[in-house]
């Protein structure tokens, strides 16, 4: 799937190059989420940017997860002791991705509903609880 992209780099696979994008985007989204809790005249703008950052971070996490699966498939001569660690890493990556898919959907829908209603949401809805 990513063979032509990998051929443009000296990396054996794209996973190491992609892994920091979702971390940066989702942590930035959290920072904007906290900023949304402070009353401000920029609240609407902050809300929309926060939802966008969650969506982009989740898309980046999906790309990172898929590149990790490709990287796992490309490994050869993996020591037997390392196989359970790689499997656990993949399992936690999937759980994390599913969590952020749910959070991003809730956040984007909450932002859309707020824009339609023209009123702020409860703090618990903002935090995805």
Structure confidence by residue, pLDDT tens digits, 89-118: 999 999 999 999 999 999 999 888 887 776
Q: How many domains does the chain have?
A: 1
The answer as to whether 6 is a domain residue is no
The answer as to whether 92 is a domain residue is yes
The answer as to whether 12 is a domain residue is no
Is the per-residue pLDDT at 129 higher than 80?
no
Domain range holding 125?
18-70+84-107+118-129
Output the pLDDT for position 11. Answer: 64
The answer as to whether 59 is a domain residue is yes
24-41 burial, b at 16+ Cβ within 10 Å, e below that, comes to ebbebbeebbeebeeeee
The answer as to whether 76 is a domain residue is no
Q: Check if the beta carbon of residue 101 is closer than 8 Å to that of residue 58.
A: yes
Which of 26-30, 61-65, 97-101, 125-129 has the lowest average pLDDT?
A: 125-129
Is the per-residue pLDDT at 124 higher than 70?
no
The answer as to whether 26 is a domain residue is yes
Output the pLDDT for position 105. Answer: 95
**What DSSP assignment string belongs to 76-113?**
-S--GGGHHHHHHHHHHHHHHHHHHHHHHHHHHHHHHH
The answer as to whether 95 is a domain residue is yes
């Amino acid at each position: 799937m990513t063979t032509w992209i990998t051929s443009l780099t000296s990396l054996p696979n794209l996973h190491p190059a992609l892994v920091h994008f979702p971390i940066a985007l989702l942590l930035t989204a959290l920072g904007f989420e906290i900023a949304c809790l402070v009353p401000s005249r920029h609240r609407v703008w902050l809300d929309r940017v926060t939802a966008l950052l969650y969506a982009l971070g989740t898309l980046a996490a999906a790309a990172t997860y898929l590149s990790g699966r490709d990287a796992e498939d490309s490994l050869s001569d993996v020591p037997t002791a390392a196989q359970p660690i790689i499997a656990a890493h993949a399992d936690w990556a999937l759980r994390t991705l599913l969590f952020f898919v749910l959070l991003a959907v809730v956040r984007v829908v909450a932002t859309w509903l707020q824009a339609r209603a023209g009123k702020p949401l409860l703090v618990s809805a903002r935090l995805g609880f």
